[in-house]
Amino acid sequence: MVNVKFFHLDKVLFIIVIILFVAGSVVMYSASTSQNADSAHYLKRHLMNGTIAVILGIIFSRFPHQYFKHLRYFILIGIYLMLVGVLIYNKSMGLRHPARWLYLGSFSFQVADFVRLGMIIFIADYLHRNQQTLTDFKKSILPAFLIVSTVVALIAIQPDLSSSLMIMMLCLILFYLGNVQISHISAFLSVGSITALIYAWSRPYMWKRIMTFFSDNVDVANEGFQVHHSLMGLAHGGLGGVGLGNSYVKDLFLPEPHTDFVFSILGEEFGFIGSSFFLLLFLLLFLRGLRIARNSTDSFSMLLAIGISFSLFSFAMVNIGVVTGFLPTTGLPLPLISYGGSNLLATAVMLGILFNISSNNESGKILSAERVLNIDF
């Protein structure tokens, strides 16, 4: 019998990812026509980041995801080093902008993007290893809650409240699916929510965003400027859109349209039909991820696949919710479409891991068939 290393490519997942990335590249080109003298500026940068992302995705699609279980402490240490390092660096350099970026020479990245992935891996492994003791609050649950709390707090004080809340939500979802008692999760959620509200109240600009969202009289010249003109762009797009490159809000009304509000440009140029198509793609990506999780061979793989799937889908839905006025402004990007190297690279690593879990699932089925049917491969 010949033992052959087999890699199964999830074709459905691959097609969805390719369409989303190509669409992102097209929108980058459209956004760049009004943002830079070089009409392909953002497209070039996006494709350069995309090339690195593809390489990372391929590497992690072939890297056995089970090995992450042996790296759990290194991952946790790396998370804290990044979070503490970015605060120390910005303070030592006297930088006044939010301490979200870590600079390594000419290279910089937003730490929250990679912390999110690290926490998904760590919590998935933690729940997998402590399945038998999850009813013991002091022994198993309290340590996990303390780790999540400190990580969330370190991100919030950058300040980046939206990313910290998203990471807390992802961890709570994993706790729930990992069979942590509802009473423990509810207690943690209550404390976290109250703390987040108090922290937001202590930051005037954060509280103003929240109050603006709930207010009936929004000052569209100030706090409500971006959302107001984003909605104008979506309305201008109508059913079928105004055509690629013909957006008017990106030229006059919407600052940095290629980043967090890129869906507004997409909706204006491709219309309701085009927007619905991309919403469907994100939904299919999410459902495909859940299918991969359902077919996983162990709880670690299942929780890891669920965490990645929820992460990508929730970021997409929150971003679109902000653009359409259903949620307060957060600053979260649209995966695979918004301009930004850090998020694109982190997304590529997540997708690579998801491909590896899917491949492992299919390889396991083939090996099982080989044992049952005694077929030589």
Q: What is the pLDDT of residues 68-106, one digit of tens each?
A: 999 989 999 999 998 888 888 777 766 665 667 776 666
Residue 155 has pLDDT above 80, yes or no: yes
Determine the average pLDDT of the residues in 214-225: 59
Considering the chain, what is the average pLDDT of its residues?
81
Determine the average pLDDT of the residues in 259-279: 86
What pLDDT does 110 receive? 83
Domain boundaries, the chain: 1-62+206-360, 70-202
Determine the average pLDDT of the residues in 277-296: 94
Residue 122 has pLDDT above 90, yes or no: yes
Confidence category of residue 217, pLDDT binned at 50, 70, 90:
low
| d(C-alpha 128, C-alpha 126), whole Å | 5
Angle value at C-alpha 262, between 258 and 263, nearest 5 degrees:
170
| d(C-alpha 272, C-alpha 140), whole Å | 48
Who wins on pLDDT, 3 or 337? 337
What pLDDT does 9 receive? 82
Residue 7 has pLDDT above 80, yes or no: no
pLDDT tens per residue across span 141-154: 889 899 999 999 88
